[in-house]
């Protein structure tokens, strides 16, 4: 019987083809949080896919520059800032989810303690 893969192993199994299909949705900010996290993990670990993202991002940002946006900006730095912001978004959502679950557990513990206290008073 094959061992069940852990969450972390499953997360890193994105193929280059899947990552390449997510380049434009990434640039257009159309990825879900799960897709974004998997995409970032792959792009950070795969030089080929990072370079492909950099090419598309440079073209996209260059076209935007022709329209007067981001005039004189360094395309490489713009990509680095976008990747950093995306990474912060993923981390922020994870922290929020952890905080939410933790607060729910604390609320249930407090409620349980109140019920037990009331029962013991009887």
Which pLDDT tens digit goes with each residue over 39-76?
999 999 999 999 999 999 999 888 877 766 555 667 77
Across 92-113, average pLDDT: 90
Contact 45, 75 (CB under 8 A): no
pTM of the model: 0.66
Helix (H, G, I), strand (E, B) or coil at 37: helix
108/97 Cα distance (integer angstroms) = 17
Helix (H, G, I), strand (E, B) or coil at 52: helix
State which of 3-12, 16-25, 90-99 shows the largest mean pLDDT.
16-25
110/47 Cα distance (integer angstroms) = 50
User: What integer pLDDT is reported at residue 54 of this predicted model?
Assistant: 94
107/53 Cα distance (integer angstroms) = 44
53/9 Cα distance (integer angstroms) = 23
117/78 Cα distance (integer angstroms) = 58
Nearest to 16 by CA among 41, 46, 53: 46
120/57 Cα distance (integer angstroms) = 65
């Amino acid at each position: 019987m094959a061992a069940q893969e852990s969450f972390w192993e499953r997360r890193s199994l994105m193929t280059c083809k899947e990552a390449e299909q997510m380049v434009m949705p990434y640039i257009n900010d159309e990825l879900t949080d799960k897709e974004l996290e998997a995409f970032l993990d792959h792009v950070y670990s795969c030089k080929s896919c990072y370079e492909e993202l950099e090419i598309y991002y440079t073209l996209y940002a260059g076209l935007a520059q022709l329209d007067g946006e981001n005039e004189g900006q360094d395309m490489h730095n713009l990509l680095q800032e976008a990747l950093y912001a995306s990474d912060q978004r993923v981390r922020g959502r994870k922290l929020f989810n952890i905080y939410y679950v933790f607060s729910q557990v604390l609320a249930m513990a407090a409620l349980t303690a109140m019920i037990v206290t009331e029962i013991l008073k009887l």
